[in-house]
Amino acid sequence: MSHQSFRTPPPPTDFTRLTFPIKHTLLVTLSRPKSLNCINSHGHQELHAIWSWLDNEPSLSVGIVTGEGRAFCAGADLKEWNETHKPGARPRAPMPPSGFAGLSRRRGRKPIIAAVNGLAHGGGCEMIINCDIVLASHNAIFALPEAKRGVVALAGALPRITRIIGRMRAMEMALTGRNVPAHEAREWGLCNAVCGEGHNVVDMAIKWAEEICENSPDSVIVSKEGIELGWEGIGVEEGTQRLVDGMFKELEAGGNIKEGIRAFVEKRKPKWTASKL
């Protein structure tokens, strides 16, 4: 997909590569392999801009995030942290409201798939905890090792991971800081699927993205919002009513719902238009 297809151009990048492997899908590759894709303060701002662009670009429906080299993301750039805490040092750029890598506290409109190709430690693990779908390579490793460094996982992971894997397992990860290999993470519900040895996790993520892109972009956005309402702790009835009274009314007034039902009746594939929600 060429940039001319976009309503607005992608934001400039220094720490990531943006590619478009299939129609309607943005692939973001963290590209600091020598630093195990650790993210510095400017990297957080860059990623926040990328995910904001995804949400607002009509031609895109799904995002994928992965890492270059042997790591997905080994967390924060602790060398930068150390330098900026020396006397007289310039302060770091502030963390965006969407959190670590623009993901850990993101409440976005469009789904993001994490294709975890290796180490997902600290902030890297906090990123995937708030992604919508998590796919892991067979050698992926998840960990919250902050306690080993005298710090705490404050980018949103602790309350969220408790809801995903339960209190006892969350305590185990946060208090011991131990590595959780991919297959154990799958058993815990920390990832959706593990890619077999010899297979590429990004290829798997692209196939999942393709399945999502076959659906109505309006329905994907509103379905994600409905799940987010439950994720944030709103009661079932309140969350349902908010969805019915809010985004669903916009979906119902749009063309994709009519096209989807008409295509079903006519026994053909629907021809979706970019979401206007």
Residues with catalytic roles:
76, 123, 126, 146
Question: Tokens 């934001």 identify what position?
Answer: 11
All residues at 6 or more sequence positions from 108 whose CB lies less than 8 Å from its CB, including other chains: 51, 54, 55, 98
CB-CB contact of 257 with 218 (8 Å): yes
